[in-house]
Structure 1
Amino acid sequence: MNHLPLLLLTLLLTASACKKEKTELEKLPDATQTGSGAGAFLLDGQAWLPDNSKTINIGGGGGGFLARWRRTKTGRALELTFGKYSDGTGLNIYLPDVRKIGTFQFDQQASIMLGDRNPAYGVYFMTKSLSIPRSFLTGPTATGTLTITRFDTVAHIVSGTFEMTVKEDKSPETHQLTHGRFDYPF
């Protein structure tokens, strides 16, 4: 008796029952340009996605994200916030004057004291379960870029990608944010 068909059927069933684990990059939402509200990045190689329920940004909306485009003394500032309420971490990105698609550099020193007069910057923060909140910023020694691929002031959609290194001011600790993407209504 030929056992080959039975062996092939067993192998086929065994192979289809195994689920392939997603890579960290596959855990991120697709890079879209529809205003889906998706945004995420790899933090030191691990998928970081905002919470779906709350945002930790003051005055922010639901879904763990917020995009705001507003007039300032220096131009039309765009602010993007990614929030993860569950672990008290988040990312704020500030661009001082956005009017069209393009690439923005994070390579200058930012200061909370400068407010709307800051250069473009990114800040990753940790607040939960810490006696002193920690902030990691871009700057001259921790650089990055953000590319806006869609900036639609009629449909109110901003989409793009980013990569950056952020460094804590009071220590040498750094973090790598890679494969960042966002597709936010504003």
Structure 2
Amino acid sequence: MYYFRKPCLFVALVLLASACKKEQSELEKLPDATQNGSGGAGFLLDGQAWLPEASKLFGSGPAVSATWRRTVAGRTLRVGFSRDSDDTSAGVFIPDIQRAGTYHLNQTANIILGERNPAYGGLMMFKPVPDRIFLTGSDAIGTVTVTRFDTVAHIVSGTFDMTVKEEVGPETHRLTQGRFDLRF
């Protein structure tokens, strides 16, 4: 009887330990920073994991997108992420991108300039009304590091870290540990 109790206790402890799930950190909730066009994207918004998600109603379109097109400013790159559950979106704009590298988001963007803007990042919150727009600029800076820019395979991958400031107010947000791996 004594020999029987020890193995049962051991098996019970092993089963109990394997049943406990480790809570994921906010950083572990983000997709890996890959470079194969996987479609992964996400970032920490003020320390909380923010992952794009498409609408389940009405098929409102993709939750992530990347476009590279010819404009008067050269070949511009736009990378965007959206999440319908809380009506937010974020993105980066890089004018005249020609290769992988680090791009500084430290100049003020102006809606009137359109495609002629400097590189910038943004966060848009559409709830509650009215819409709120937060942008990088001279007093809210950041960087985007494009780690893969493949115009043959049409893949853009990279990481970003930025502070964005409300256009008409003092509120700021931090977008850190950002990553994207998209096809354009």
Specify the TM-score bucket, using the shorter chain as the normaliser.
over 0.9
Q: Residues of 2 paired with 1:92 and 1:27: CA distance?
A: 19
Kept in 1: contact 2:93–2:120 (CA 8 A): yes
Q: Is the alpha carbon distance of 1:33 and 1:62 closer, same or farther for their aligned partners in structure 2, counting shifts above 3 Å?
A: farther
How far does residue 182 in structure 1 lie from its aligned partner after superposition? 0.3
Which 4+ stretches in 1 moved above 4 angstroms? none
Q: Residues of 2 paired with 1:169 and 1:53: CA distance?
A: 27
**1:82 corresponding residue in structure 2:** 81
State yes or no: 1:16 paired with 2:14: no
Q: Residues of 1 paired with 2:33 and 2:114: CA distance?
A: 30
Among all aligned residue pairs of Structure 1 and Structure 2, give the percentage whose two residues are the same amino acid.
Answer: 59
**1:155 corresponding residue in structure 2:** 153
Letter in 2 for 1:34: N
TM-score computed with the length of structure 2 as normaliser: 0.92
**1:63 corresponding residue in structure 2:** 62
Of 35, 38, 41, 1:39 maps to: 41
Deviation larger for 83-92 or 95-104? 83-92
How far does residue 15 in structure 1 lie from its aligned partner after superposition? 0.3
State yes or no: 1:141 paired with 2:103: no
Stretches of structure 1 that go unaligned for 5 or more consecutive residues are 55-60
Stretches of structure 2 that go unaligned for 5 or more consecutive residues are none
Q: Residues of 2 paired with 1:93 and 1:128: CA distance?
A: 21
Letter in 2 for 1:160: G
Once the two structures are superposed, residues 109-152 of structure 1 have per-residue CA deviations (whole angstroms, 9 ceiling, x without a partner) of 1110111111000110001331x100111011110000001111
**1:125 corresponding residue in structure 2:** 124
Kept in 2: contact 1:50–1:63 (CA 8 A): no
Q: Report the RMSD for the aligned CA atoms in angstroms.
A: 1.4
How far does residue 52 in structure 1 lie from its aligned partner after superposition? 3.5
Kept in 1: contact 2:155–2:182 (CA 8 A): yes
**1:58 corresponding residue in structure 2:** none
Once the two structures are superposed, residues 75-120 of structure 1 have per-residue CA deviations (whole angstroms, 9 ceiling, x without a partner) of 1100011011221100021101111000000000111011111100
Kept in 1: contact 2:54–2:82 (CA 8 A): no
TM-score computed with the length of structure 1 as normaliser: 0.91
**1:181 corresponding residue in structure 2:** 179
Q: Residues of 2 paired with 1:106 and 1:32: CA distance?
A: 22
How far does residue 53 in structure 1 lie from its aligned partner after superposition? 4.0
What is the correspondence of 1:89-100 to structure 2 with a 5 Å cutoff?
A: 89-100=88-99
